Amino acid sequence: MSNNSAAPLRVAKFGGTSVADFDAMNRSADIILANPAVRLVVLSASAGVTNVLVALSEGNEAERRAYYLDEIRRIQYSIIDRLAEQTVIREEIDRMIDNIAMLAEAAGLATSLALTDELVSHGELMSTLLFVEVLRQRGVAAAWFDVRKVMRTNDQFGRAEPDSHMLKAQTRTLLLPRLESELVITQGFIGSEAKGRTTTLGRGGSDYTAALLGEALEAGRIDIWTDVPGIYTTDPRVVPQAKRIDEISFEEAAEMATFGAKILHPATLLPAVRSAIPVFVGSSKDPGAGGTLVYNHTDNPPLFRALALRRRQTLLTLHSLNMLHARGFLAEVFNILARHAISVDLITTSEVSVALTMDTTGSTTTGASLLTQALLTELSSLCRVEVEEDLALVALIGNKLSQACGVGKEVFGVLDPFNIRLICYGASSHNLCLLVPGGDAEQVVRTLHGALFD
């Protein structure tokens, strides 16, 4: 089935809240059944399950393990209890939970990334089994498919990278033929490496799965169903007047995600971007509310598109009188940071100092834990180090910002009452970034949104 057929194939992905319980699953089923073009469905684990599985993978006392296993049972049984035919699916889920218990016991003896992936993958395996059952009991010919057969990855457990060549070949052989006659339900987030061991794709993994499979199948569109009806000019919880953006370019969406908008993880869209497949983002709680379509590029994009906010930023200021004439100072600083696996986010320099923020959003750590004593000691031998924490990054996302006139006045004119700690502007024509005290962040966003978007 290629794009040349009457209705191009569509891939739909549903996040954890969209398969959280029996009612949520049925709402998601309604969305799928309303559109015959949807032939492949990618699911996350039911909300709450992955967190419990991650906790189990850290190795616990027997009592704590029992508590976590009960929690998983509670979430999954609440779905089974609402099904008319329960026997077979209950046996399947019980088998999965026995498996989880065995792996959790092993984690109690010794933890490993491979074991964690094996354990965590059960969330998606269970949600897809349950969802197939929900569909079958509604008289739909749905088939369960183990994504690990096609999602071949390297063995970097916890953050495995798919082999797109292998993925495409396997998908076209094993998956494509089935889509002609069946609605196929499969797992997001998980894969397998050369030896057949289970891997996971890291944060935003289910969106990534949908985009990779959509690309391999040459889909006409990828629908990402979450608990928000699309992408907004800023977080509606911070600014209730935020407006939904009906169409946005991949580049703008990726900028927003990079700077903390949690809707889409930019890397997860890459396969769709490469292949110019539009991505739709909508809410499974309210499919009638519409959503946002993300395109490869859009016509006449606006100067100001959105505001993103990233909290808990750490600013390092390095002062050195030697910097004046030392050609290698910055190189040495970046060498040290690279050795400690730190990626620098924003940077500004003066004659005798350099200020930079550290990006902690891609990892599970905080800025504080990245700033190890070893790193500070190494930097201190080179220069005087100043650390400021609890700052927030406000990013104005737009188009051709660095070529426009008057941007500074429009932005800074309304920010009189606030202390702005650092400004980055000009390196990208898509963003202007400000670092402000954490406590002022929301007010800064509200002020800017009022001035630029209302």
User: Residue positions in the annotated binding site for substrate?
Assistant: 50, 124
User: For residue 61, what are the β-bridge partners?
Assistant: none
- List the one residue out of 210, 204, 205 whose CA is nearest residue 224: 210
Give the angle subtended at the CA of 371 by the CAs of 369 and 372, to the nearest 5°.
85
What sections of 121-190 are H helices per DSSP?
Answer: 122-136, 164-170, 176-179
Asked whether 290 and 282 are in contact (CB, 8 A), the reply is yes
Asked whether 289 and 430 are in contact (CB, 8 A), the reply is no
CA 375, 377, 380, 385 dihedral sign is: positive
Binding-site residues for ATP, in ranges, read 13-16, 226-227, 232, 237
Binding-site residues, in ranges, read 13-16, 50, 124, 226-227, 232, 237
Tell me the C-alpha distance between 122 and 114, whole Å. Answer: 13
Q: Name every residue whose Cβ is closer than 8 Å to that of residue 358 and which is 6 or more positions away in sequence.
A: 313, 314, 316, 342, 343, 344, 345, 367, 370, 371
Tell me the C-alpha distance between 362 and 256, whole Å. Answer: 14
Residue 289 token pair: 């509310």
Residue 367 token pair: 């800025």
Residue 340 DSSP code: T
Tell me the C-alpha distance between 204 and 219, whole Å. Answer: 20
Asked whether 288 and 230 are in contact (CB, 8 A), the reply is no
